[in-house]
Amino acid sequence: MPSSSRVRSGRDLVRLKGVGASAVGLLLAIAAANPAAAETDLFGRDTLSGVLDARLSAADGETSFLDGGLGKTQYSGGGANVAVRPTLDLAALVWRPQLGGDLGASVTAQGQSGQTHGIDLAEAYLQYRPVPHSATRFGWRVGLMWPPASLEHDGVGWTTTRTLTPSAINTWISEEVKGVAAEAFVSRDIGGHRLSVTAAAFGENDTAGALLTYRGWALDDVRATAFGTSPLPQLRSDSYLRLPDDTQPVVNLDGRPGGYAKLEWRPPAPMALQAFVYDNGADPGAVKDGYWGWRTTFADLGLTARPGAGVEVLAQALAGHTYSGPYTSRGWRNDVDFNSAYLLATEVQGRHRFTVRGDAFEVKNNAAPVFGEHGEHGWSATGDYAYALTPNLSLWVETMHVWSGRSERSSADLLPGQPQNVLQIAVRAAL
């Protein structure tokens, strides 16, 4: 490990211990000062939950980006052969203390295969959600969190409940779109319709866009943590520029705030529509500890529908733009447009759940070719079967085929178009 990485790792571990102690102290102080002490519940049975996810994977195709390649999944294939490996994919513990009245908190600690630190914070925020007494509802939350953009991550500890692997869109949200935010929402019932507006200001997300540019889209369930880093592919056509070997998703480089907003409509029918916009406000010329700022904006549209008993359909489409410095006579060194969409259908029949999903994705390179060939296009098809052995234990099987075309592979003597097949068998336990 380079010396700079060791220094950064040590500094992050000190910060992790300090932040953890401070968070616990803050919650205890709030609870002690709250006059509604009778409603305070810090360590009761209902305040703790968690998930354990153990997997056996079999994959062919190219090397994963997690191992230095340009592969689109978290599992490195065996080329024309099949690589088989067992992993403890995720262990997450969620603490949701009630601090009195309508004030609560949520703290998620996780350990995951390939994570920088053995245990790290995934989320940590205060939340105020009063019981509604009229057609208008409101609330807020403040802290480290993912924005409310994903339609798939509705399980304990930001897990997916329909597939083992999220779509390309929500993979990227999990990997790079997270910060420290102050978020508020208000909703109102009007003639059988419910309209909701959520808005937030945030920081600590100045590098969102680095993975999407240097690696492109991916399909994995690796999630950003407070102090972790994500590796960048080593087989890059711009490697001579001596860029960092990794990117840190949760980091502040310039002190400038970003913002996001979400509008949701729930008509008097089993469906919901959402529109989400995001701008991290980062300075694309800022640089600190080897990391450059990335100015990233995107818009997302989502649909959830339940056309029949046990049947659900999800769809999302996202389009955005990201660029990063330095600025040169040929323009920004990194400058791409990106877009992706998916359609998912799932059905529950007793203890059985069947899910299919199709994804399409694209990255358009706007920078001068001398800075790297970062354009790509591709698609994937995913099928899942889950069986509930008990209310808290389930068995999963997922098969996924991914194809992507990326001209940058030619610099590593690889064919630009690469297919990959991944089979996963998982046992997931809810705690």
Predicted pLDDT of residue 235: 63
Average pLDDT over residues 350-354: 98
Predicted pLDDT of residue 34: 52
Predicted pLDDT of residue 13: 44
Predicted pLDDT of residue 4: 42
Predicted pLDDT of residue 14: 43
Q: Looking at the predicted structure, is the pLDDT value of residue 373 above 90?
A: no
Q: Looking at the predicted structure, is the pLDDT value of residue 321 above 60?
A: yes
Predicted pLDDT of residue 5: 44
Under 8 Å between Cβ of 196 and 264: yes
**pLDDT tens-digit map of 51-69:** 999 999 999 999 999 988 8
Topology, domain 3-430: Porin (2.40.160)
Mean pLDDT score of the chain = 90
Note the Cα 14 to chain centre separation in Å. 25
Question: What residues form DSSP beta bridges with 287?
Answer: 292
Which DSSP category does 370 fall into?
A: G
Q: Looking at the predicted structure, is the pLDDT value of residue 9 above 60?
A: no
Q: Looking at the predicted structure, is the pLDDT value of residue 419 above 60?
A: yes
Return the ∠ at Cα 36 (arms to 32 and 39), rounded to 5°: 95
Structure tokens at 225: 């943590």
Q: Which residue has the higher pLDDT, 385 or 370?
A: 385
Under 8 Å between Cβ of 119 and 110: yes
Domain-wise residue ranges, the chain: 3-430
Under 8 Å between Cβ of 319 and 336: no
Amino acid identity, position 206: D
